[in-house]
Amino acid sequence: MDRNRIKRIITVYVPGHLCNLRCSYCYVTECLKYSMDGHAQFNYSVEHMIKAFEPARLGGIAYIVVIGEGETLFPPEVIPFVKGLLHQGHVVEVVTNNTLDDRIGQLLDIPQEDLKHLIVKCSLHWLELKRLNKVNSYFENIRRIVAAGASAYPFLVICEEYMPFLDEICDVCEKELGELPACTPCVTAETPEEFLEKGGAGTNPACTTEFVEQINKRLHSKLFEQSVRFLDIDVRKVFCYAGAWSYVVQMGTGRLCKCHNVLTDINFFENIDQPVECAPVGCECGIASCSLQYCFYGFGLIPEVSNVPTYTEMLCEGSNLFNPEIKQLLNSRISDHEKIFTKEEENTFLMDVIHCKNLQIEELSQRMTKEQYAAVKATEAEKQRRLYVERLLGLVDEDRLSYEELSFVTYDTMMYLKYVCDTMPDGSVMYGHIWEKITRGLFSSHTYVEPNYFYHADNILEVEQIQGLSVVTLVSEYENAEQMKRSMKEGDYVACARIQCTQMQTFCVEKGLSDGD
């Protein structure tokens, strides 16, 4: 078996939301803000997981990116897992904030031959490094990784927050390492669903001609240059071999995806004595932009996109932080030694995909009972509720709770939010806080306008009467009407919020609504 050529690209997601940093732009910070349990759970032993990555099963060695949903190196299982993969001959890139000194030391405690295939991608979270006095530690860890024989590099996402500090960041990197950081634009979307399903990806700051010229002039990053180029590629109009030549594996469960949002029914950690067989994504990409999957382009997973540098040329060609063996291994394309479909074969493949889907839809429609159809509709409704809750929480965070902004929020949304809060520690406190901010926003923006009211008596209230009402219509029992009016007139938003919270809780209990109704 050829161990001098990368045959597969695999991303391994490490579960758990624990992190020692609190970057303002990171989803992990939001999770920890509301005390979500961040500990990693694994369904399989480390030994079993390592065996699943045997090169014989994959057709050769792989370029494996190990990245956490929190800080990658927090779960103790990660270090022996990475060491096992390196010992098998794989190239392993570990994505880390590079501040856990002891974990870095443990990672480097392996034979020199294995260290040659280790890459440590050191996310450069500048403001947090400064706040925690970790700048020196960050750069010292990069130097000791490289001195040990592995490869390491600073990696910067060019987000709005870092623009005032860009020169400072570049100067420190040049002083400490003699090199500028690798960088990419900050790809964003309004919601995860928009990014994954609706094609709503953008960048912040926007990649205008002036902005791109500014970054290219200061950082000279070919990775940034190519990432900006890939933003303009419609990923659903090109044929991609992810799935056939690459996988995404959930380390906690073994679930395998062809790419980051193209699911399969394969468990990577089952039947590990059998090769992994998976069809390519084709034109069914599950994300809005493949800009940040630059290694896919560099390794040739989308062959029809021409004139793409190799991954070495994009990332590390002139760098002294990568060892020669890694540069050689990253300097090839999988498309150069794997079968590529002819245009006729591509069309046949895509037609077969459509045919299979039509058969599945027909079979499903024949089998689906009224109850099953109702369950599907309920799932769709829950998804819609979740979108509204995310939008509401965004308004709360941005303090944009005006009458107009809140008009889309219904009591059905608030009931679903209460169900979510009830699953979280101190969720009732957060729920009350949101109601307070809603009432404050309503009354502060409508000082001279009489609010809408919906008064009722317990014995006449029906579910349908309240679920569809917007929260700009204040709901109160008759016995609370005067108290509500008096509290509003006095500007006592806490009292108004308390009436609304109590009302919603009483309403749910008395009507016997189950969770999520």
DSSP 139-165: HHHHHHHHHTT-EEEEEEEE-GGGGGG
Q: What is the pLDDT of residue 26?
A: 67
- C-alpha count within 13 angstroms, C-beta hemisphere, residue 284: 19
Of the listed ranges 363-367, 387-391, 394-398, 413-417, the least confidently predicted one is 363-367
Q: What is the pLDDT of residue 176?
A: 97
- Of 129, 159, 132, 124, the closest CA to residue 25 belongs to 159
Regarding whether 352 and 478 lie in a shared domain, the answer is: no
Number of domains in the chain: 3
Copy the structure tokens of residue 50: 């390592």
Regarding whether 390 and 296 lie in a shared domain, the answer is: no
Residue 474 confidence (pLDDT) above 80:
no
12 in any annotated domain: yes
515 in any annotated domain: no
Last residue of a domain, one of 335, 353, 388: 335
382: confidence class by pLDDT, cuts 50, 70, 90: confident
CA distance 249 to 265: 12
Query: How confident is the model over 176-198, as pLDDT tens digits?
Result: 999 999 999 988 765 555 545 54
Last residue of a domain, one of 335, 354, 385: 335
CA distance 179 to 223: 14
Residue 143 confidence (pLDDT) above 90:
yes
Cα-trace Rg, the chain: 27
Q: List beta partners, residue 410.
A: 470
Q: What percent of the chain has pLDDT over 70?
A: 77
Regarding whether 13 and 130 lie in a shared domain, the answer is: yes
Copy the structure tokens of residue 37: 């349990």
Of the listed ranges 67-71, 142-146, 265-269, 487-491, the least confidently predicted one is 487-491
Domain holding 380, by residue range, is: 371-510
Regarding whether 409 and 288 lie in a shared domain, the answer is: no
Regarding whether 438 and 359 lie in a shared domain, the answer is: no
512: confidence class by pLDDT, cuts 50, 70, 90: very low
Give just the sign of the alpha carbon dihedral 119, 141, 184, 285: positive
Regarding whether 250 and 308 lie in a shared domain, the answer is: yes
Regarding whether 195 and 218 lie in a shared domain, the answer is: yes
Q: What is the pLDDT of residue 483?
A: 66
Residue 448 confidence (pLDDT) above 50:
no
Copy the structure tokens of residue 374: 């109702």
What's the N-to-C CA distance of the chain in angstroms?
A: 57
CA distance 124 to 139: 10
Regarding whether 145 and 219 lie in a shared domain, the answer is: yes
Query: How confident is the model over 289-335, as pLDDT tens digits?
Result: 777 788 889 999 999 998 999 999 999 999 999 999 999 999 999 99
Residue 102 phi/psi, 5° resolution? -65, -40
Regarding whether 284 and 266 lie in a shared domain, the answer is: yes
CA distance 198 to 191: 10
3-state helix, strand, coil in the chain (%, to 5): 50, 15, 40
* Segment 97-102 mean pLDDT: 93
- Of 189, 21, 15, 195, the closest CA to residue 99 belongs to 21
Q: What is the pLDDT of residue 423?
A: 74
Q: What is the pLDDT of residue 194?
A: 52
95, 68 Cβ separation under 8 angstroms: yes
65, 251 Cβ separation under 8 angstroms: no
Query: How confident is the model over 262-280, as pLDDT tens digits?
Result: 889 899 999 999 999 999 9
Single pTM value for the model: 0.70
Regarding whether 212 and 194 lie in a shared domain, the answer is: yes
CA distance 269 to 34: 32
Residue 149 confidence (pLDDT) above 70:
yes
Regarding whether 144 and 89 lie in a shared domain, the answer is: yes
Residue 48 confidence (pLDDT) above 60:
yes
Domain harbouring 106, CATH code: 3.20.20
Q: What is the pLDDT of residue 21?
A: 81
**Which amino acid, 133?**
N
How high does pLDDT run on average in the chain?
Answer: 81
Regarding whether 347 and 326 lie in a shared domain, the answer is: no
83 in any annotated domain: yes
| DSSP structure class, residue 4 | S
Q: What is the pLDDT of residue 315?
A: 94
429 in any annotated domain: yes
